[in-house]
């Protein structure tokens, strides 16, 4: 614990770390506010996006609170076929070499 303590002369004044003051025009502030509004949750809802995890979690919490059985877990979609990039690269190189008449 004593190793973490510092003497007065070892501690820097934190005011030297503060950023320099910046002056912004009213137009810049308005643009920043518009950008923030565009990226809000309401703007995402207008695009038809939904937070499915939160909705599912709320359903589970409500079911537990009311003593009902928990909702069914939806079937997970199978992932697409995983491509072995190294094998595809080696195959591509072999075809290119064969096309140029080189030996593998």
Q: Three-class SS string for the chain?
A: CHHHCCCHHHCCCHHHHCCCCCCCCHHHHHHHHHHHHHCCHHHHHHCCCCCHHHHHHHHHHHHHHHCCCCCCCCCCCCCCCCCCHHHHHHHHHHHHHHHHCCCC
Residue-by-residue pLDDT tens, the chain, 104 positions: 566 777 778 888 888 888 889 999 999 999 999 998 887 777 667 777 778 889 999 999 999 999 999 888 878 787 778 788 899 999 999 999 998 888 75
The predicted structure's pLDDT at residue 84:
87
* pTM higher than 0.75: no
């Amino acid at each position: 614990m004593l190793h973490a303590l510092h003497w007065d002369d070892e501690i820097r004044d934190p005011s030297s770390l503060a950023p320099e003051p910046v002056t912004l025009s009213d137009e810049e502030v308005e643009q920043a506010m518009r950008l923030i509004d565009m990226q809000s949750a309401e703007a995402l809802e207008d695009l038809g996006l939904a937070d499915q995890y939160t909705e599912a979690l709320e359903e589970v919490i409500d079911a537990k609170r009311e003593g009902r059985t928990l909702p069914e877990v939806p079937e997970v979609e199978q992932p697409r076929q995983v491509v072995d990039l190294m094998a595809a690269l080696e195959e591509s190189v072999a075809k290119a070499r064969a096309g140029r008449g080189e030996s593998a």
